Amino acid sequence: MDYERKTRVIANSYYNMGLERAKLRDLSGASECLKKSLHFNKYMTDARNLLG
């Protein structure tokens, strides 16, 4: 697995965790996960929109 694909997979995992936490109304936990997702892929618009 190349580096680019690996970082996308990690970013998607953090995004999915953030989305689940947001659904459970754990907004501070969701914020942390989404920020980590953006750390691995700064162009992930879904994470940026959910964070906003």
- The phi and psi torsions of 42 (rounded to 5 degrees) equal -70, -10
Q: Which helix H or strand E contains 20, and what residues bound it?
A: helix 3-23
As a whole number, the mean pLDDT across the chain is 93
Q: Where are the domains of the chain?
A: 3-51
Q: Kindly state the DSSP code that residue 25 receives in the 8-state scheme.
A: T
Q: What amino acid is encoded at 10 in this protein? A: I
Q: What amino acid is encoded at 3 in this protein? A: Y
Give the pair of three-digit tokens for residue 41.
């892929």
pLDDT at 32 exceeding the cut of 90: yes
Q: How many CB atoms lie within 10 A of CB 47?
A: 24
Give the pair of three-digit tokens for residue 4.
């680019």
- Return the pLDDT at 36: 96
What's the pTM value of the predicted model, to 2 decimals? 0.90
Question: Tell me: the pLDDT tens digits for 14-30?
Answer: 999 999 999 999 999 99
